[in-house]
Structure formats: C-alpha cells, structure tokens
Amino acid sequence: MLIKRSEDIPSSDITPESTYLNRRKFIAGFGLGGALGSSMIRSQFDSAKVLEDEFSRTQKDWSRVRSDLDEELNSYEDVTTYNNFYEFGTGKDDPAKNSHTLKPHPWNIEVDGLCAKRGTYGLEEFIKPRNMEDRVYRLRCVEAWSMVIPWYGFSLKEVIDWAEPLGSARYIEFTSLYNLEQMPMQRSFVLEWPYVEGLRLDEARHPLTILVTGVYGRELPNQNGAPLRLIVPWKYGFKGIKSIVKIRFTETQPLNTWQQSTPREYGFYANVNPGVDHPRWSQARERRLGELRKRPTLMFNGYGEQVANLYSGMDLRLNF
Ligand code: MTE
C-alpha cells in the first residue's frame, strides 16, 4: 500500500499550529473518535484527556511525514492557497480569498437513492462512528500540477456499508452545496451548479477512496472543501468534489459536472493516464507545486498496483 500513516514525534518538536485549535474544532474532533460511541463522546466532551489527544494530533512534525514513495509533502500554504473551487472564482488564489462566505457548521448530509438508510443526517452524526486516520496522498490535477497532501478522513466504504445499497445500485453520486449567499459565484454560468461527481461502486469501495474532514492535522479549510470532501488519489483532481451535501446511490452512471460541461475534454473515469492527452495539452508530465522541473506523470497517479484491476478489460482511451 502506498498509504503511510503519520509518524509520532517527540513532544519537544512542537509546531505553532496549536493556535488553530478552537472549540468548534474540538467538537468535530470528538465526533471523529472512531470506536467511541456517541454517548461516550458526549460524556468525555470536556475531559482533559480527549482534549490532549486531539491536541497531539495537530502537533505532529508534518515535515517528517512522507508517503511510501518518499515524496516530500507540499506545505500547508501550498495546499490552502493554490486551489480549484469554482464556486469561489476561477483563479487559483480565488478560493482562499473568497471562501470565507461558506458556513461549514452546522451542516447536513442527505443520503438518497437505492439504499436502506435514506434520510438527512447532521455532519457529526454522519462521520461520528467512522474510523478516522491521517493519510498521505498525491493530488494530480488535469492542468498538470500535483501535490502530496496529508489528509484526515475515513474510507468511503464505511459509509457505503452503513448505508446498505440495494442490489441494483451500481454507482454513487455526490452533490456539492448550492447556495447563492454562501457561494456567490454560483450566479455565474462558468459551470452548471451544483457541482456533481460520481464513482462506480467498486471504485467507491476501494480502500484508497476517502471522505476528508481535515488536512495537516487541522479542520478542513473552506477553500479545500469544508466540511466534507472526496479524495480519489488515482484520478484527476476534479473527481475530488468539495463541500458535499448529498450522496445518492444509482443504477445509471451519474453525469459529472465537467463531463456535462465539456464532454470531449473530461470523462466519467478521469483516471490519471499519461498516455491520454487532454485535447488542449499533454498529460505526460506534471509540475509538483514548489518544484521547477517537471516530472513524468505515473499511470493511475502511481497507484496502479492497487487499482489497475478495477479496469481490467476496459479500453482506457475510450473510458477517459
Ligand atoms: N468541488 C467543487 N464543488 N467545485 C470545484 O470547482 N474543483 C475540483 C475539485 N473539487 C471543484 C471541486 C478540481 S478541478 C480540483 S483540481 C480539486 O477540487 C482541487 O482541490 P484542492 O483545491 O483542495 O487542491
């Protein structure tokens, strides 16, 4: 596996990130308590022990955390200032400047379609029973930049198993928030709103596919898709839908926003593939943010050993 969990470090190596901790973060952090039941979480809410545990997670020396491919992490600044989030503008620096209007708490997630657990759930309720972990993944965007990022989240499979999809369900569709006050750029016609993405159920169940609530030991910043976003590390970044408000199980393949917008350029699968160029540029090389020289792009973003079998027998030139 290419997943690498974060390393623990001596308490002497303390970074100043503690300043970002606040009560709201603690509430979210407790909710992510893995095996803890909800009543236990509540009863421990004010206990110093839980505060300490959550605190220590933010105190890692992130500069020492690398992926198994021995790639350096991009800085917190890279990750949070060079973004795509068209609801807040099309410039890479727009989301960091404009996304303060997004209100990620309180937040509801609707579960819909072909499953037993249809309904609307508060975010805490939705993520509380899940097994949260730090995981280092590459993000590779179609426009040929890449980053290595320590995300915090849980396997989407956990949600799927809990939701009990019916036998007829073959896909899962995700929808982002549609709210003109919080996302004023949705008044523009740059894309169809709300932003929609989808995965085949076997892709969605793959252990590398995660729902993310944090990055670099902190709560997910608005510009990165607070409070809940998807990461599918072997696919182009546009599959990583942000600020999710709905998941829906379907029999038919969802129409994702970019495919709807420009079907010649963006497909449903969007597997990173250096052999298939975007009609307007090559996908063979990429620039890691912070580096000058480009590097060759790896098939499936380097995760081929784990995911290639999902596509055996498929023509990946046609299914781009
Ligand atoms: N999700 C929504 N709702 N709106 C968007 O514009 N952009 C996508 C994806 N998720 C986008 C989105 C694209 S094109 C990319 S490359 C990634 O988010 C960027 O994630 P990052 O800004 O955290 O690096």
CATH number of the domain enclosing 15:
3.90.420.10
Task: Give yes or no for residue 276 having a pLDDT over 90.
Answer: yes
Q: Which of 97, 102, 236, 238 to mutate to test the pocket of ligand 1 (most atoms within 8 A of CB)?
A: 238
Is residue 5 situated within a structural domain?
no
**Dist. CA 295–CA 313, nearest whole Å:** 29
More confident residue, 14 or 203: 203
**Dist. CA 185–CA 294, nearest whole Å:** 33
Is residue 298 situated within a structural domain?
yes
Kindly state the average pLDDT of the residues 116-131. 95
- Counting from 1 in the atom list of ligand 1, the atom nearest the Cα of 82 is 22
pLDDT score of 68: 61
Is residue 318 situated within a structural domain?
no
Kindly state the average pLDDT of the residues 40-64. 58
Residues 6+ apart with CB under 8 A from 44: 30, 36, 50
Is residue 250 situated within a structural domain?
yes
- Is 215 near ligand 1, meaning CB less than 6 Å away? no
Containing structural domain, residue 116: 11-311
Determine the distance separating the centroid of ligand 1 and the alpha carbon of 244, expressed in angstroms: 12
Is residue 2 situated within a structural domain?
no
Query: Per residue in 72-118, pLDDT tens?
Result: 999 999 999 999 999 999 999 999 999 999 999 999 999 999 999 99
Q: Which of 85, 87, 192 to mutate to test the pocket of ligand 1 (most atoms within 8 A of CB)?
A: 85
Kindly state the average pLDDT of the residues 219-236. 97
pLDDT score of 55: 62
- Counting from 1 in the atom list of ligand 1, the atom nearest the Cα of 177 is 3
pLDDT score of 51: 54
Strands (DSSP E) contained in the chain are 108-113, 119-122, 133-140, 145-155, 171-176, 196-200, 210-215, 218-219, 229-231, 244-250, 285-288, 295-296
- Is 83 near ligand 1, meaning CB less than 6 Å away? yes
If phi over 0 gives left and psi between -120 and 50 gives alpha, with beta otherwise, what is residue 300? left
Report residue 22's pLDDT band, with 50, 70 and 90 as the boundaries.
very low
List, in sequence order, every residue forming a beta bridge with 247; answer none if it has no partner. Answer: 111, 174
Is residue 320 situated within a structural domain?
no
Task: Give yes or no for residue 290 having a pLDDT over 90.
Answer: yes
- Is 194 near ligand 1, meaning CB less than 6 Å away? no
Count: domains in the chain:
1
Q: What is the mean pLDDT of the chain?
A: 85
Kindly state the average pLDDT of the residues 45-55. 54
More confident residue, 308 or 5: 308
Report residue 48's pLDDT band, with 50, 70 and 90 as the boundaries.
low
pTM across the whole model = 0.85
Is residue 4 situated within a structural domain?
no
Query: Per residue in 157-200, pLDDT tens?
Result: 999 999 999 999 999 999 999 999 999 999 999 999 999 999 99
